[in-house]
Structure 1
Amino acid sequence: MRIGYSFWGFLGPGITDTPDGGRSHRRTLIDGLRALGHDLVFLQPDRDRIEAGTDLTPTYTWDSGLPDLDALFLEWRWPIPGRNTTPCGTPGHTCDLHRQHQLLDYYTLERGLPTIVWDKDLQLPAGHPLRHTPQVTVCEAALHPTDGAVSLLFPVADTALDTADPDALSRRPRPLSLAYVGNQYDRDDTFDTYFATPATGRQDCVVAGKWPDTHRWPHVRFIGRVPFPQVAQIHADALATVLLLPDRYAAAGQMTQRLPEAVLAGCLPLTPAYIRSAPQFSPFQLHVTSGAHVTTELAELRRIAGTPAHADLLAQCLAKLHIFRLSRQLDTLDRVLSRIEVRW
């Protein structure tokens, strides 16, 4: 099939000042679809070339027009006041939402083209008309998607999982006891409990990402946004991280890309136990219920660091990542696209 793919972000490392978490998995999914024989054309601006100076046009195709397609695939964009809701040409304006409206109007509503909406941020309202449009399939990156939606998790390359070595990862020096990579959005309360409290009085904890309001936590070391390749290095230096989720993610059992990023670097994922289906994401030994519990766990993890017990715990965490395997996500999309072809 010729699939028009709309995403607002990057395929390569991109630029530092961006919240695009899709860099960890977008190219993995796209290359997987191409390996299955699908032809993909990208319908948003080529930000890799325009903003990051990375020319990927010898490998991939971008089209700013309305090319002939068999299906439309959208990474869902939503209104962000002051950014994509302003008139075109306004300082700070991004045209991702306007372009999405154009694509939906032309392909989905006017021509009835089969459309996949991947609501990666759980921003598509439950009553949105697209959920009841026959030619539209809504996918969510959650274990418990909204009624009628399909679970499509953030993919991890099979080869990355198959070649990960827990013994080697356990032997790496871990100068940081606790690290968190991610932005502040809707995480203040969970951060307060599960990171800021156990970080009190410690110098071996660090937070990377966009945190514009940190006055509540003067004792925490915030280093701001970092280049995307540095994310792996921070996790490689850290003994553990805490999986901090917005409430809507936690309720739906939606885990961000930070889990596989951390585990593949050998960083153990301390998991707040209230997250729905938490046992699917990490072994019970890493589930925590309070800041004090995090402190206790960090002491225990530091005690076993570099030992066979540490390697065994990492092996259990790696096994939990199998639900994110690219091959599994491609099987899901194959079923969705097969249904689309039948309807179409």
Structure 2
Amino acid sequence: MGKRIGISYWGFCQQFEDCNIANTPDGHRYGRPMMVDEMLKRKHEVIALQERRELTPYPGLLYDDDGYPDLDILFIEWRWPTWKNSGPKSFESDLKRQVDLLDHYHGKIPIIAWDTDLQITVTDEKRWPEMIVADPCFDPVTLTKKRHRLTWWSDFSEFFDSCEGSVMYGYIGNNYSREKQFLKYYASVSQSFRHVGIQTMVYGNWMQHSPERPHPRIVVQGYPNIAFVDRVGFFESMKVLNRFICTTHISKESYSERGNVTVRFFETLACNVPALVPADFYAADILGDDWTVSSTADVFDKVFYLMKLSGEERKNVVDEQRYSFRKYHDFHVASAVDFIESFV
């Protein structure tokens, strides 16, 4: 029998081809519609409880951004205080709505808080002690209670075939807390790549001025051999990713230590792009031992090797990485929905 599932997210739930809004940090546009589709397939009623940001309603998804409908369970993609949603000049409603939902439903129905950015605090856990906390790490954080592991997920469909003739080594991601890894795995190798006809490309918010990060002028001066491009819409970013020879999955230090296999791993597989994994990542061999890197020289050697392959040969590499990835853990969206259902 279907259940009434409330979901709270601050982002977009759209068909991939419709994901054209660029200026948003929403990191879950890839997996969210898959989760909703899987829930609808199981005859659940799914209600989005934050302000709708997608231009048109997602097929089958219901919306209620100011009420408190009867629910069997509430699934929250955790939000935390930022300069946009808290303080005297705040202009986004996600945090206030999340707090209101938690205060209303706590103790009445199961609430799963999925802490994808590892931002839940001791204060949060004490304020809502019956909240079920999960995070995507292989080694979940422990504060006042034991957490559940709920990894990012996929249906493992593929967007594109591998491209031919690429000359770009690239990174799609914003300028947040990855300075050491960015320097080691991208900036330090960028000049050597130019000498052999490979351009290092970076897409994201690097050229946008913000109080949260260095001024774009400093970024350009610091990385003279890298071409920086502004954010593009999600589906356009997947087309860009598909044109890369390869990418390297750099992570925040806490993600690397605990094994937060971020959505970027799933996106590269969907785009049929080979990826490299730093050796200090918790699950460094998740794409296979051959694709672990520990130095700038490793990155150069592997990317240069991949550049010389045909599109079909690079697709074979991705197929091997996909096999290793799926063997390492069950990342299928069906298992994620099984997890949510288990608390109803």
The Cα shift of 1:27 comes to 0.8
Deviation per CA, 1:89-135: give whole Å up to 9, x if none: x4x51111111111111111xx432100000111113x345279563
The Cα shift of 1:185 comes to 0.5
What CA distance in whole angstroms lies between the structure 2 residues aligned with 1:113 and 1:307? 50
The Cα shift of 1:222 comes to 0.5
Question: One-letter code of the match for 1:316?
Answer: E
Question: One-letter code of the match for 2:180?
Answer: D
Equivalent residues of 1:174, 1:238 under 8 A apart? no
What CA distance in whole angstroms lies between the structure 1 residues aligned with 2:238 and 2:324? 19
User: Given the alignment of the two structures, is residue 262 of structure 1 paired with residue 257 of structure 2, yes or no?
Assistant: no
Equivalent in the alignment of 1:116: 112
Equivalent in the alignment of 2:210: none
The Cα shift of 1:297 comes to 1.2
Equivalent residues of 1:183, 1:210 under 8 A apart? yes
Equivalent residues of 1:239, 1:301 under 8 A apart? yes
TM-aligned CA distance change 1:46 to 1:225, over 3 Å: same
TM-aligned CA distance change 1:30 to 1:195, over 3 Å: same
Equivalent in the alignment of 2:68: 66
What CA distance in whole angstroms lies between the structure 1 residues aligned with 2:289 and 2:137? 20
What CA distance in whole angstroms lies between the structure 1 residues aligned with 2:244 and 2:234? 16
The Cα shift of 1:182 comes to 0.6
Pairing of 1:241-252 with structure 2 (within 5 A) = 241-252=247-258
Deviation per CA, 1:66-96: give whole Å up to 9, x if none: 111122111000011x211124xx4x51111
What CA distance in whole angstroms lies between the structure 2 residues aligned with 1:329 and 1:57? 20
What CA distance in whole angstroms lies between the structure 2 residues aligned with 1:221 and 1:143? 34
Equivalent in the alignment of 2:281: 275
Question: One-letter code of the match for 1:272?
Answer: P
Aligned-residue Cα RMSD (Å) equals 2.1
User: Given the alignment of the two structures, is residue 295 of structure 1 paired with residue 286 of structure 2, yes or no?
Assistant: no
Structure 1 window deviating more from structure 2 (180-189 vs 298-307): it is 298-307
User: Could you state the TM-score of these two structures normalised by the residue count of structure 1?
Assistant: 0.85
Equivalent in the alignment of 1:329: 336
What CA distance in whole angstroms lies between the structure 2 residues aligned with 1:236 and 1:287? 20
Equivalent in the alignment of 1:25: 31
What CA distance in whole angstroms lies between the structure 2 residues aligned with 1:236 and 1:298? 15
The Cα shift of 1:10 comes to 0.5
Deviation per CA, 1:242-265: give whole Å up to 9, x if none: 101000110110021111111221
1:221 to 220, 227, 230: 227
The Cα shift of 1:177 comes to 3.6
Equivalent residues of 1:264, 1:318 under 8 A apart? no
Larger helix proportion, structure 1 or 2? 1
Aligned length in residues: 316
Equivalent residues of 2:168, 2:199 under 8 A apart? yes
Unaligned runs of 5+ in 1: 49-53
TM-aligned CA distance change 1:255 to 1:138, over 3 Å: same
SS in 2 for 1:324: coil
Equivalent residues of 1:131, 1:137 under 8 A apart? no
Unaligned runs of 5+ in 2: 208-213
Equivalent residues of 1:187, 1:246 under 8 A apart? yes
User: Given the alignment of the two structures, is residue 136 of structure 1 paired with residue 131 of structure 2, yes or no?
Assistant: yes
What CA distance in whole angstroms lies between the structure 2 residues aligned with 1:334 and 1:144? 22
What CA distance in whole angstroms lies between the structure 2 residues aligned with 1:60 and 1:205? 40
Deviation per CA, 1:252-292: give whole Å up to 9, x if none: 10021111111221211111010001212x11111100112
Equivalent in the alignment of 2:12: 10
The Cα shift of 1:307 comes to 6.1
User: Given the alignment of the two structures, is residue 182 of structure 1 paired with residue 179 of structure 2, yes or no?
Assistant: no
What CA distance in whole angstroms lies between the structure 2 residues aligned with 1:24 and 1:333? 18
Equivalent in the alignment of 1:150: 148
Deviation per CA, 1:11-43: give whole Å up to 9, x if none: 121511111111111111121122222211111
